[in-house]
């Protein structure tokens, strides 16, 4: 094994002293020289173990009640010097800087202090400056330095000390360096949350789960009325804003559990509302409503007839607001123009997180490739693009049926594409929609031709889908036989 | 307005010099004294503007090729000194430390360096130590110090300078402090990703979205066979592991789009597989399979008959592995015991993110409260708890139908609870299940009695749900009239 290093000099500066005794005694047994400061120094000295004061090295006292202790070139030079670098070594000698090859830090407990809701001054005082600098510098120089960046790592570190009598490998040092940046990024994320006045929510998806939102809601909307916005409201608001942003025409959408259960584009908002609601007046109960035009009195009067949780509009007529405000709990949001959404998505899974770019692709007419003998006409193309926009924002597997810029029904979140279609057809029938000449959008390709067959038998004549299945040919063949028209977008829109 | 402060002395240390000229000239106009070092110092001097060298203040030269420049108590004391603190002020005088009330930093571009895939040494060298320490210290002392922590803030800062001729408010200083911790936490998160050897995925939910996983998959499972794990695979694997962890008995589950489309608990794995598959043999196509017992040869032979993407088991018989490995692309995962999952969940929405505790509540018999005249018997309770476990891990609105520890069907991700039930019943019929005496689990309460009515008409006789609706009474009344039995758990399990 190469890149083995024996620990010779340790700098220790920790907040919690629990389990520290073991480490210090072990280091002393291994003849490691210990440098320390403040309370840690006293703790070590009280154990009867020799310790060099940081001040002795820097010739500079601790100042400003400990705000400045270790931030000195004689300390950081000793941590950051590269063993392989001749110039670094020369400078160590020139300035009489001791090499430090082990750094043990336990940071000021910032989050704990916030949780115990101390005064602002006390909380700010617990922002660790020196400790973070120490662990980051040590982690950067992991080739030569071992860094322990939290009391939670003491036991694991003791094992490493025991295993090889103070000799550490490059892999061990790098792994602990990695941990350091996890500690430091989390630490500053917590401070950020504190400064951002993180919005504590009543609870998460369910009452037994604690939750908060971190971000600046007030930059996206003003709350004009209503109770506190909940975790589930926020999920729906996010889904709703992403969905509505696809539509330029006057459009109303109704969301439940992050999916649209109604949506229509019309010449005026009242009609858009009525035809959105017609899509599924039952699911609309308790939903999140969103539109992209000034909310007028007439529309407000209609909306007021149903029970809903949240309404979002870019502006409101004064009379409309008066009507909507009649219910005290109803959340009324005024959308601002500055919708500076993130273009990246993170979500936790397993023991880490998934990152991806957001799905920002919106198909236009130019993206469509007709694959059947019959091409869709202008009006049909408009419906196909309309349905495709909705299916993009619907959970997979998803099928959307639409006609005349109205969402007729959708099959959402299904484990099979055929089920999604069947569900959409059943819903359309339940609400007495005529599927004759309607369009179908699919968020992914059809693996078999069964779906278009079922669609045809229900009156659907126009299909939009990404394409790309090994059985595309048989799907196209069926459409051609039945004089259906189908376009491919080339872009899948899975969403989970 | 109180807490106004006029900027008198600035410390400037930036990587990118773009737009810096404007700021420096403006500061010079406002008679602000400028301290700087290295390339920034040269840049300012070349503009013909007076600048004090950091070295002049510290009497310590830049060492180790710039690794240590500003880390000195004479600099950090000047930043961290509290204007209101007499002792701090005394120490400033005693040690001849100049007060610094503006800090402008632009960090080494770590991520950019990684993106341009330089050598490891070059990348490590771009981990900024001094810059992060400067902005964190300044942000901590925002009461007295204004901090600009990125070149992206220059223009906004110039506006503030112009507006009030170098006088800043506490709100402005605090907002820029907040930005600092956003910069520093993101910066270290990026370093963490680099050290964690983030797992670049082929793409995200869709081919046009870039994606990666950050975490330690290898601590959760070993990949024994198959192609690269995809983003959507990971979502299913996460959902599958969470689901299977609820079951102690021999259990097999099949997932598609994060929901179970088949699941059964049996005395042996072969039966568990067969009865899981029977739940929906169509959706199982291309699914993720997971079991909690040693995968034997007989079961492998059966599994091998269908096309699936991923299989996960805690162990494999050698013969079983041989059979499963026949397909090169098939992903075979060996589950490890150490499943150190996160107990917290984050997801990005709007311009921020949502945090919540994970839903870790699993109901046991003791949690059940019978609300109907008839109580469920032992066997039925077992089925009720079984169905309730599945519904907890199914996307909302969710209804799960089960009998004899077999998932019969579910309605998933629906915008209305009635739709979820109707969908489940339709699926059960499609696959020829007899719903007589089956149980129904709902992830949230029934708002009306329509669902139990529909359930009763399909043969369902046992119901498990959280309860808590204002119409619970009418739901209970219906069940009593029809001699159904119903238990309340008191715990909702929404999942999105």
- Mind listing the pLDDT tens digit for each residue in A54-85? 999 999 999 998 889 999 999 999 999 999 99
- pLDDT tens column, A365-385: 999 999 999 999 999 999 999
* Mean pLDDT across chain A: 95
Active site residues of B: 140, 257
Closest in B127, B396, B412 to A140, CB measured: B127
Show contacts of A53-62: CB within 8 Å, 24+ apart.
A54/A11, A57/A97, A57/A98, A58/B73, A60/B73, A60/B95, A62/A37, A62/A38
Q: Is it the case that residue A117 has pLDDT exceeding 80?
A: no
Closest-CA residue of chain A to B196: A178
* CB spacing of B340 vs A357 below 8 angstroms: no
Q: Do B188 and A174 touch (CB under 8 A)?
A: no
Please compute the mean of the pLDDT values over residues A306-311 and round it to a whole number: 97
- Which residues of chain B neighbour A237 with C-beta distances below 8 Å? 350
The angle that helices A472-481 and A450-457 make with each other, rounded to 10 degrees, is: 20
User: Which sign, positive or negative, has the C-alpha torsion A62, A65, A66, A67?
Assistant: negative
pLDDT over 90 percentage in chain A:
91
Structure tokens of A436?
């004759």
Task: Identify the residue among B355, B360, B407, B429 best suited for mutation to test binding to A, counting A beta carbons within 10 A and taking the highest.
Answer: B355
| Structural tokens at position A201 | 């929510």
Residues in Cβ contact with A171 at an 8 Å cutoff, skipping those fewer than 6 apart: none
Contact status of B288 with chain A (Cβ, < 8 Å)? no
Whole-number pLDDT of residue B3: 83
From residue A244, give the alpha-carbon distance in Å to each of A312, A329, B119, B217.
Answer: 10, 24, 45, 37
Query: B189 contacts in A (CB within 8 Å)?
Result: 181, 185, 189
Of A477, A483, A475, the residue nearest A447 (C-alpha): A475
Instruction: Report yes or no: B119 at the A interface, CB cutoff 8 Å.
Output: no
- Walking along chain B (496 residues) 10 residues at a time, the average pLDDT comes out as 87 95 96 96 97 95 91 97 95 96 96 86 95 98 98 94 94 96 94 86 95 90 96 97 96 98 98 98 96 98 97 98 97 86 90 92 97 97 98 98 98 96 96 97 96 98 98 98 98 97
∠ CA(A372), CA(A377), CA(A379), 5° rounding? 135
Shortest CA gap B130–chain A (Å): 8
Chain B contact set for A206 (CB, 8 A):
359, 491-494
* Cross-strand partners of A440: A401, A463
Q: B345 and A347: CB-CB below 8 Å? A: yes
Judged by a CB distance cut-off of 8 A, whether residue B418 touches chain A is yes
| Residues paired with residue A347 on neighbouring β-strands, in sequence order | A354, B347
Cβ contacts of A234 within 8 Å, gap of 6 or more:
A201, A213, B349, B350, B354
Partner A contacted by B108 (CB < 8 A): no
Cα-based distances in Å from B49 to B26, B28, B75, B89, B159? 11, 7, 21, 29, 21
Residue B92, CA atoms < 13 Å, CB-side half-sphere: 18
The verdict on whether A256 is a catalytic residue reads: no
Q: Which of B411, B323, B16 is nearest to A419 (CA)?
A: B411
Query: What Å distances lie between residue B136 and B17, B37, B419, B444, B490, CA to CA?
Result: 21, 18, 53, 46, 46
Decide if B346 and A348 are in contact by the 8 Å CB cutoff: yes
Phi, psi angles (nearest 5°) of residue B380: -70, -35
pLDDT tens-digit series, residues B311-347: 999 999 999 999 999 999 999 999 997 666 888 899 9
User: Whole-model pTM?
Assistant: 0.84
pLDDT tens per residue across span B190-247 = 999 899 877 889 999 999 999 999 888 988 999 999 999 999 999 999 999 999 999 9
pLDDT in tens, A21-36: 999 999 999 999 999 9
Catalytic residue among A8, A89, A140, A482: A140
**Nearest beta carbon to residue B355 from set A211, A282, A342:** A211
B342 inside 8 A of chain A by CB: yes
**Partner-chain contact B397 A257, CB within 8 Å:** yes
Which of B362, B391, B415, B424 is the mutation pick for testing A, counting most A CBs within 10 A?
B415
Residue count of chain B: 496
The ipTM, to two decimals, is 0.83
Q: Give Dmax (Cα) for chain A.
A: 92
DSSP codes joined into one string, A238-272: HHHHHHHTT--SSEEEEEETTEEEEEEE-SSHHHH
CB atoms inside a 10 Å sphere around CB B314: 16
CA A66 to centroid of chain Cα atoms = 37
């Amino acid at each position: 094994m190469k890149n083995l290093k024996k620990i010779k000099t340790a700098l220790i500066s920790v907040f919690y002293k629990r389990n520290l005794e073991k480490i210090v005694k072990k280091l002393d047994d291994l003849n490691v020289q210990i440098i320390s400061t403040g309370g840690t120094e006293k703790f070590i000295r009280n154990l009867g173990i020799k310790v060099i004061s940081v001040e002795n090295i820097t010739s500079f006292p601790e100042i400003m009640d400990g705000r400045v202790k270790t931030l000195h070139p004689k300390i950081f030079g000793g941590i950051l010097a590269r063993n392989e670098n001749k110039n670094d070594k020369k400078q160590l000698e020139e300035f009489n800087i001791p090499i430090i090859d082990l750094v043990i830090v336990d940071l000021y407990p910032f989050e704990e202090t916030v949780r115990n809701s101390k005064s602002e001054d006390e909380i700010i005082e617990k922002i660790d400056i020196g400790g973070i600098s120490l662990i980051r510098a040590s982690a950067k120089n992991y080739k030569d330095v071992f860094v322990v960046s939290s009391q939670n790592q003491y036991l694991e570190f003791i094992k490493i000390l025991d295993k090889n009598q103070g000799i550490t490998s490059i892999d061990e040092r790098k792994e602990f360096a990695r941990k350091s940046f996890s500690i430091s990024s989390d630490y500053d994320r917590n401070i950020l949350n504190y400064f951002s006045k993180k919005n504590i929510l009543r609870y998460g998806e369910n009452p037994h789960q604690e939750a908060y939102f971190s971000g600046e809601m007030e930059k996206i909307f003003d709350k004009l009325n209503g109770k506190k916005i909940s975790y589930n409201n926020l999920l729906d608001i996010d889904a709703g804003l992403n969905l509505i942003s696809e539509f330029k025409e006057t459009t109303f959408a109704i969301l439940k559990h992050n999916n649209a259960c109604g949506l229509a584009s019309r010449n005026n908002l009242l009609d858009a509302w009525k035809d959105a609601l017609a899509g599924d007046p039952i699911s609309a109960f308790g939903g999140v409503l969103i539109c992209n035009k000034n909310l007028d009195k007439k529309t407000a009067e209609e909306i007021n007839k149903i029970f809903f949780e949240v309404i979002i509009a870019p502006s409101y007529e004064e009379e409309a607001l008066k009507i909507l405000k009649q219910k005290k709990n109803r959340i009324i949001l005024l959308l601002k123009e500055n919708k500076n959404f993130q273009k990246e998505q993170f979500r936790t899974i397993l023991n880490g997180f998934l990152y991806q770019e957001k799905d920002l692709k919106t198909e236009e007419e130019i993206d469509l490739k007709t694959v059947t003998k019959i091409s869709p006409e202008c009006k049909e193309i408009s419906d196909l693009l309309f349905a495709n926009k909705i299916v993009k924002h619907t959970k997979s597997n998803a099928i959307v049926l639409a006609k005349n810029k109205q969402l007729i029904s959708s099959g959402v979140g299904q484990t099979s594409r055929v089920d999604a279609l069947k569900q959409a057809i059943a819903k359309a029938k339940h609400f007495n929609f005529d599927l004759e000449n309607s369009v179908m959008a699919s968020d992914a390709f059809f693996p078999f031709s069964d779906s278009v067959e079922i669609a045809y038998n229900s009156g659907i004549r126009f299909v939009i889908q990404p394409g790309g299945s090994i059985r595309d040919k048989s799907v196209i063949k069926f459409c051609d036989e039945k004089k259906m028209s189908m376009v491919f977008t080339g872009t899948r829109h899975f969403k989970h």
